[in-house]
């Protein structure tokens, strides 16, 4: 049985960002950052037989752990599971583009050959038995995003800018520190990438943009008085 990880969210809006930050910290290999090494042990706790012999194995383990956390978030916080799957895919693509040198070019190829064949991925924690996030939806999303890994990872920069917006907000007073700067940075990246991407309605790019823009508009509507 896999260990269940819970993320304590200050607000519903930044819950998935908090989850990704936790996973990212587990990828910090710098021995100087001793405080972050606690997060590095999460993978070993989550996967008792964890073996970090390669970047690919570590990324696969991180992706599976992120999906499990997102499943709890979707259930407890009532957040759209399709959006969470898309954001998990953005993280996966970004890490693959950042870490691996194996020549893999498409997300679907990596998913089919390295994730779907992983025994932990096929355990009941990510099955179809009532979970908000399940393999059928993940399969469909990744098949529809049969794009170059580098192209998908480009969306991640915009996503992280959006996360920075929520991270800088005071959930008690709704006062903004540098969130407006991060919001401007997000919108600038959004427009720049949108102009060079295929945004045909219904395309994978269009779906990603829709999720990102909807979350940005939520920020505008909720905090337009800060």
Instruction: For 44-102, write each residue's pLDDT tens digit.
Output: 666 666 566 677 888 888 898 888 888 888 777 677 888 889 899 999 999 888 875 65
Distance between CA atoms of residues 199 and 114, nearest Å:
29
Residue 3's pLDDT is 45
Residue 88's pLDDT is 92
Are 24 and 47 contacting, i.e. CB atoms less than 8 angstroms apart?
no
Instruction: For 172-219, write each residue's pLDDT tens digit.
Output: 555 565 666 777 777 777 777 766 665 555 566 777 878 888 887 877
Would you call 154 exposed, middle or buried from its count of C-beta atoms within 10 A (0-12, 13-18, 19+)? buried
Distance between CA atoms of residues 155 and 206, nearest Å:
11
Instruction: For 115-146, write each residue's pLDDT tens digit.
Output: 988 887 877 455 555 567 888 889 988 888 77
Residue 196's pLDDT is 62
Residue 50's pLDDT is 57
Distance between CA atoms of residues 189 and 208, nearest Å:
14
Q: What is the DSSP letter of 205?
A: H
- Which residue, 181, 148, 143, 137, is CA-closest to 162? 181
- Which residue, 163, 174, 143, is CA-closest to 211? 163
Distance between CA atoms of residues 226 and 160, nearest Å:
21
Residue 15's pLDDT is 80
Higher pLDDT, 160 or 194: 160
Q: Is 114 helix (H, G, I), strand (E, B) or coil?
A: helix
Instruction: Tell me the whole-structure pTM to 2 decimals.
Output: 0.80
Distance between CA atoms of residues 189 and 191, nearest Å:
6
Residue 124's pLDDT is 47
């Amino acid at each position: 049985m896999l260990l269940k990880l819970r993320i304590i969210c200050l607000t519903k809006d930044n819950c998935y960002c908090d989850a990704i930050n936790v996973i990212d910290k587990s990828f910090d290999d710098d021995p100087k950052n001793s405080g972050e090494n606690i997060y590095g042990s999460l993978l070993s706790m989550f996967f008792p037989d964890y073996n970090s012999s390669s970047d690919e194995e570590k990324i696969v383990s991180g992706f599976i752990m992120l999906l499990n956390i997102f499943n709890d978030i979707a259930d407890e916080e009532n957040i759209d599971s399709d959006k969470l799957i898309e954001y998990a895919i953005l993280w996966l693509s970004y890490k693959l583009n950042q870490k691996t040198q194996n020549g893999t070019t498409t997300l679907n190829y990596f998913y089919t050959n390295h994730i779907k064949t992983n025994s932990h991925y096929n355990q009941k924690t990510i099955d179809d038995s009532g979970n908000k996030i399940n393999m059928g939806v993940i399969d469909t999303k990744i098949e529809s995003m049969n794009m170059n890994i580098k192209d998908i990872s480009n969306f991640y920069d915009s996503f992280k800018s959006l996360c920075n917006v929520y991270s800088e907000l005071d959930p008690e007073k709704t006062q903004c520190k540098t969130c407006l700067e991060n919001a401007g940075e997000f919108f600038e990246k959004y427009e720049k990438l949108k102009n060079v991407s295929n945004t045909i309605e219904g395309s994978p790019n269009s779906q990603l943009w829709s999720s990102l823009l909807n979350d940005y508009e939520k920020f505008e509507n909720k905090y337009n008085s800060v």
